[in-house]
Amino acid sequence: MSAVTYLSCRDLERYLGEDESRVHALRGVSLEIELGTVHAVVGPSGCGKSTLLYLLGLLDQPDGGSVTLGSEALSHLPDHELARRRNESIGFIFQFHFLMEDFSAQENVMIPMRRLGRLSLEEMEERAADLLNAVDLGDKLQRPSRHLSGGEQQRVAIARALANDPRVILADEPTGNLDTRNSQRAFELLQRLVQEGNKALFLVTHNQLIANVCDWIHEMQDGRIVATHSRSGSRPSFQ
Ligand SMILES: Nc1ncnc2c1ncn2[C@@H]1O[C@H](COP(=O)(O)OP(=O)(O)O)[C@@H](O)[C@H]1O
Ligand SMILES: [Mg+2]
């Protein structure tokens, strides 16, 4: 089976800040993300990793170059069209997971479904429960997220990212605030969900162990991808 490129960007340029603090954050970044693959982006703080992730996730617009989702170039779409594609096709996980802390785990996972507005309340509740079961939190559906551990909260964030069954998941240092065991567990879970669902995962990480088991590693420096390595061979694993 030949791999299908789902999300790609070409010659992305992005400037951030004003006047003398203006930064050339991305300098001609191109890459392709195929379904069924896991990509890691590594590089020093400030090299442009988050900026790239925001552009790929349609949360920000480039000053030059283009992002293509499916087979559609998105550069000139109005905000509401970008928002619709984002809600339908992309799941996000951030280092600080931004859960609503007074909401239950189940309610947090329902938030993206409410935004898309396609399911009834019962359907949303059932889907959220299924997703939380899949991340091993089926017994904590009703627990307010502030009463969950850090690892559990990040698993809620993973379930939330999958709420609308996106084809691609973008994760910005998703395990950055977890200890080693919980980091590996969260990553392995993501990796499994991506493989089972033929999704793509694009992950910013400082964790070399995690980067080393991704299919592709992109090294960034000063707003550019300076090297891309593929990891061929057997299925990625920590063993
Ligand atoms: N809102 C902003 N205003 C001005 N400069 C910014 C802004 N956001 C990021 N930057 C700058 O852009 C560069 C890239 O930032 P970022 O993409 O967050 O890097 P990374 O995620 O690799 O640490 C850095 O020099 C950062 O200081
Ligand atoms: Mg960052």
Q: Is residue 239 part of a domain?
A: no
To which H or E segment does residue 170 belong? strand 168-172
Tell me the average pLDDT of the chain.
91
Total residue length of the chain: 239
The closest residue, in CA terms, to atom 25 on ligand 1 is: 46
Looking at the CA of 26, name the nearest ligand. Answer: 1
Looking at the CA of 176, name the nearest ligand. Answer: 2
Q: What pLDDT, on a 0 to 100 scale, did the predictor assign at position 216?
A: 95
Q: Is residue 19 part of a domain?
A: yes
Q: Is residue 34 part of a domain?
A: yes
Using the atom order of ligand 1, give the atom closest to the CA of residue 45: 23
Can you give the CATH number for the domain in which 192 is found? 3.40.50.300
Distances (CA, A) of 117 to 121, 160, 178: 10, 15, 32
Contacts for 62 with CB less than 8 Å, ≥ 6 apart:
9, 12, 13, 14, 26, 55, 75
The closest residue, in CA terms, to atom 16 on ligand 1 is: 48
Contact present, 62 and 11 (Cβ < 8 Å): no
Residue 48 Cα to ligand 1 midpoint, Å, equals 6
Residue 209 Cα to ligand 1 midpoint, Å, equals 25
Residue 3 Cα to ligand 2 midpoint, Å, equals 29
Which of 203, 149, 208, 138 has its CA nearest to residue 180?
208
pLDDT at 237 over 90: no
Q: Is residue 236 part of a domain?
A: no
Whole domain around residue 204: which residue ranges?
A: 5-230
Q: Is residue 235 part of a domain?
A: no
**Mean pLDDT of all residues in 12-41:** 96
12 bridge partner residues: 29
Q: Is residue 237 part of a domain?
A: no
Alpha-carbon torsion 52, 58, 32, 195, what sign?
Answer: positive
Pocket of ligand 1 (CB under 6 A): 16-17, 23, 25, 43, 45-51
The region of weakest confidence among 29-33, 81-85, 124-128, 166-170 is 81-85
The tens digit of pLDDT for each residue in 49-58 reads 999 999 999 9
For the record, the structure tokens of 43 come out as 């590089």
Q: Is residue 238 part of a domain?
A: no
How many domains does the chain contain in total?
1
Q: Please report which confidence band the pLDDT of residue 180 belongs to, taking 50, 70 and 90 as the band edges.
A: confident
Q: Is residue 133 part of a domain?
A: yes
The tens digit of pLDDT for each residue in 103-152 reads 999 999 999 999 999 999 999 999 999 999 988 899 999 999 999 998 89
For the record, the structure tokens of 104 come out as 């239950």
Residue 74 Cα to ligand 1 midpoint, Å, equals 23
